[in-house]
Structure 1
């Protein structure tokens, strides 16, 4: 983001945001309720329309009217605040749904990555659990 602005009617909710995240970098966006955290993330994924500034991902300007958001969303993950897992699917199957159906990746590769991520957050032992079995 560079000089990024977003309005809801007359109310400016994002004002001149500058943010750069390097590949592989993990960041936290922290602030009180209503400060624009979710709006910022929704803009990054094309779920909200920006009003001015620049938004680049992999050196592509995303605010261009020709941006194919379906393509971009295959490369940017997002978990909504009110997330829901499919209750009839295991944790692993929920994690594999996007990579297999949207990205058309090979199951073996996607499963290895999903299991590595579960291990990273200490949940590998829950891979076969169903949402009702989780706290």
Structure 2
């Protein structure tokens, strides 16, 4: 069980790597608050929260792992549309890769919980960020 967080991040990264939508995006192993617009586009898979394990009377051990996928890109007037498409692709790719998967001997139920987009001007350049948080419920039956 100790590798489940890393395995979930790697599965998410692989799912994004396989998508033509995110070709050319550099994968960041950890998210930095300030990312220079010259480094764009970038993306990453991060676990920012977790509800610790609990064991049920039926012999089931559960952990809820909150996986966040972030992508940041430079864009023009249609950056809103680009971010909307990024969000939809992320939800589809991660749900397909993780929901119903068996990772580190755990059955995984993965559902999208929240998504947000943000647009800012960085030196006159429009920069957009999309973040999607998933709940990955991992359970082992003993």
Say whether the fold is shared (TM-score over 0.5).
no
**Structure 1-normalised TM-score?**
0.22
Whose strand proportion is higher, 1 or 2? 2
Whose helix proportion is higher, 1 or 2? 1
Using CA pairs under 8 Å that are at least 6 residues apart, name the structure with larger relative contact order, 1 or 2: 2
**Structure 2-normalised TM-score?**
0.22
